[in-house]
Amino acid sequence: MTAEHMPGHGDISGGSEKTLVPGISPMVYSEADFLRIADLARIEAGIVLSERKRMLAYSRLAPLVRRSGRTNFNEYLNLIEQDPVEAMDAIAALTTNHTYFNREPHHFDQFVAEVRPALAQRALSGGRVRLWSAGCSSGEEVWTLVMTLLGEDKAGGKRIASGDVVALASDLSGQALASAKAATYPAEALSAIPERLRRHWTVPITPAPAAATAPNAPERLSIGPEARAIVRFRQLNLLRPWPFRNLFDVVFCRNVMIYFDAAAKERLVLSLARQLAPGGYLYIGHSERVSGEATDLVDPVGPTIYRRRDA
């Protein structure tokens, strides 16, 4: 097949089937292909892709089709059926990963006022503290949470970090996890973080000599060693069995469920509630709600903030 038939090129020939993407032949990306993608997303990750998402599905998966060496979506979808790793990459590509530091700041305000004091005291007295950023994307959420936990007193924060404190950062996307683990961002991206937290728990990146002379080179900051030492990364599908048994004191799972169907949302929220220690806190996105059986386990304590009932 010639180059113009590859995804991303402008072939408009190819049969009477309707064109889903302007300039792309139905021989490359057809209605049947989209329906297979929608089924994959629903079955594997609980994501609902309506007909309006046909362009989105194409734009997210076309680079993977090209990378695989396949010449059309049908061939790529046949590959996915035989390759679980490629299937996970496809699902991850369909997942929205946009995020930023200190997103929904009322969550962190509540954490500082009502949750952090007990966790900090526990860590300083030798107790165990466990946090989870479920759907951490490129890391802005988990690093905001960890810096907030360490706090504005650097000496005290270092003592907290030296205790039995672990924050799990999980995501379906291996690429997003790699970015989160690299933990280096434009300084402007961290401007929403309180100045003392930014000063204590980040490190300026010294540019290479060649880059130093580049005009208008943006400053970059790296998350500091104390915060990095706390975080563990794991690739995880939230709708599949989880490979850990620990209960968490705090779970952030925000703006992950926006494309899920109602049943998938209820299953996930119930699983998250069950994974909370008694008295633990669950933070979800501003457009998300707890419903179903999970309402028997958690109580609302603030806007999109829930507390696990004591045993």
Q: How confident is the model at residue 104 (pLDDT cuts 50, 70, 90)?
A: very high
Q: Is the pLDDT of residue 299 over 80?
A: yes
- Given a contact cutoff of 8 angstroms between Cβ atoms, the answer to whether 236 and 171 are in contact is yes
Q: Rounded to whole angstroms, how far apart are CA atoms 113 and 116? A: 7
Q: Rounded to whole angstroms, how far apart are CA atoms 292 and 217? A: 50
Q: How confident is the model at residue 209 (pLDDT cuts 50, 70, 90)?
A: low
Mean per-residue pLDDT for 65-83?
95
**Which runs of consecutive H residues, i.e. helices, occur in the chain?**
31-45, 54-68, 73-82, 84-94, 105-110, 116-124, 140-150, 154-161, 174-182, 195-201, 209-212, 225-230, 262-274
Which domains can be identified in the chain, with CATH numbers? 3-94 (1.10.155.10), 105-308 (3.40.50.150)
b/e 14-24 (16+ beta carbons within 10 angstroms → b): eeeeebbbeeb
- Give the predicted TM-score (pTM) of the model: 0.80
b/e 114-138 (16+ beta carbons within 10 angstroms → b): ebbeebbebbeeeeebbbbbbbbbb
Q: What is the pLDDT of residues 222-280, one digit of tens each?
A: 999 999 999 999 999 898 899 888 899 999 999 888 878 888 899 999 999 999 999 99
Q: Rounded to whole angstroms, how far apart are CA atoms 203 and 206? A: 9
Integer-rounded Cα Rg, in Å, for the chain is 22
